[in-house]
Amino acid sequence: MKIGILITGRLKSTRLPLKLLLPLKGKKVIDHVIERAKQVNYMDQIILCTSYHPQDYPLIEAALKQNIYYFTGHPDDVLRRLFDAATFFQLDYILSITADNPLFSIEYANVIANDARLYQPDYMYIEGLPIGIGLYGISYDALKTVIKIKNHIDTEIWGHWFNQPDYFHVRTIQGRKGDYRNTRLTLDTYEDYLFLQRVTTQMPREELYNYQSLLKVIDQIPHGEIHNNNIIQKQLPSDIKNEINLLYKKLVKDKRVNKNESV
């Protein structure tokens, strides 16, 4: 089985322009993400998935400097971009990480990579970690199925398309007790950037990849000084969720009818 990490990122952000090029502990945010991806086990390829718009060319340059592959695809349809990249590189399974998460957990990424090889679930996600620490596993076949049935082009928030246990084999990985913190470690706003700066500045460079060291630093910061806790994470609108649920309800019903007819 061929497994790859697909890093999705663009430079279109309006809340924090060019955020992936901002410096963080002496390196660009995008470089932190790529260098962490290189630490994940069992990966055959690492691919930066961006768009074909000229504004995103600096991300291609970052991929070339880091000696990883890149793929330019649909600017808004993230799932189409992931599928086209996985098809082009002939991947059987992907680990999907957004470039907004420069401190994603290498340890939990290894868990997903190992479980992909052992169980090959359609979809994997992690519960019980702070925003920005987890990532996702998707089989190529599940990705191909969603591409066929989805009826939206804007798929920036796409997890609900796969988290359908009645239709897909979904595997949930529980974070260890004690690994959760009620904080944001993703990069959407200036407040997020200031917090990530503070956290990484306090971490010794040799411990930057260690999740437990990250938690120790967070625990030393007074709650009142974590100014990005009031940032609301983007969610898929409820009407689109309902639409997706109805679609899968019909697919599950059709699958049962076809199974009965074939008996």
CATH number for the domain harbouring residue 70: 3.90.550.10
Q: Among 64-78, 187-201, 246-260, name the one with the lowest average pLDDT.
A: 246-260
**pLDDT tens digits along 183-213:** 999 999 999 999 999 999 999 999 999 999 9
Residue 223 has pLDDT above 50, yes or no: yes
Lookup: tokens for 9: 């990122």
**pLDDT tens digits along 75-93:** 999 999 999 999 999 999 9
Lookup: tokens for 187: 């990069």
**pLDDT tens digits along 88-110:** 999 999 999 999 999 999 999 99
Q: What angle do CA 205, 206, 209 make, to 5 degrees?
A: 90
Bridge partner residues of 49 (DSSP): 8, 71
Closest CA to 188 of 103, 101, 95: 101
For residue 254, what are the contacts with CB-CB under 8 A and spacing of at least 6? Answer: none
Residue 168 has pLDDT above 70, yes or no: yes
pLDDT of residue 263: 46
Q: Which domain holds residue 201?
A: 3-262
3-state secondary structure of 19: helix
3-state secondary structure of 51: strand
Q: State the total domains in the chain.
A: 1
Closest CA to 215 of 115, 129, 93, 143: 129
Residue 258 has pLDDT above 90, yes or no: no
Is residue 143 within 8 Å of 86, Cβ to Cβ? yes
Q: What residue type is assigned to position 46 of the chain?
A: I
- Looking at the whole model, is its pTM more than 0.85? yes
